Amino acid sequence: MTTLSIFNQSQPERASKVTENPAEIRDLLARQGVRFEQWPTKDLPSDAFQEDILDAYSEEVSKLKEECGFQTADVISLNPDNPQREAFRQKFLDEHTHSEDEVRFFVRGQGLFYLHFGNEVFAVLCQKNDLISVPDGTRHWFDMGPEPAFTCIRLFTNPEGWVADFTGEDIASRLPRYEALAGAAE
């Protein structure tokens, strides 16, 4: 189930608030400038090709491109049997920012976005049918867990795709990881 856990960075061991209510999650994130929606999912095979996934969601993706100026969309998929899964996980685990919005729509599986606002960190466990748009310049990181199993549509304004500017802060290492938060949500 989609879950939002809010932590104070001075007490990272315990969430000050946890909610699984989609409307409350949407509203709390909107106050921080984060777009959160839940789209109806399409029945697609787990091994669907990128083109099939983008075709299935072409109307939604076209709408976002027109509304927000995105230039490209692609699909990223990772499974527990990927021999480079730990390297992929490590790539996203440090706090960073982007010069464009980071948009993900979960077609399958789940992943955990951490969003750092002042003294608070919002940990959003996104699930199948969740769309999250992290505004440019927002400090954040992503944890896919030790056994990643997800497929996401990504949208970009920059044709180069995912480009991160790492902050050098250690906040990500002080908060509970995917294993603790995803297990608590189930």
Sign (positive or negative) of CA dihedral 52, 57, 61, 63: positive
Q: What is the pTM of this model?
A: 0.93
* Bind-site residues: 96, 98, 102, 140
Cα separation, 105 vs 127, whole angstroms: 9
Looking at the domain 3-185, which fold is it?
Answer: Jelly Rolls (2.60.120)
CB 171, CB 121: distance < 8 Å: yes
Please, which pLDDT band fits residue 165 given cuts at 50, 70 and 90? confident
pLDDT of 159 > 70? The answer is no
Cα separation, 51 vs 34, whole angstroms: 28
Q: Is 172 helix (H, G, I), strand (E, B) or coil?
A: helix
Residue spans per domain, the chain: 3-185
* Bind-site residues for Fe(2+): 96, 98, 102, 140
Are β-strands 150-156 and 102-117 bridged in parallel, bridged antiparallel, or unpaired?
antiparallel
Place of tokens 């995803």: 182
**pLDDT given at position 45:** 85
- Token couple for 14: 């315990």
In tens, the pLDDT along 13-53 reads 899 999 999 999 999 999 999 999 999 988 898 789 999 99
* Bind-site residues for Ni(2+): 96, 98, 102, 140
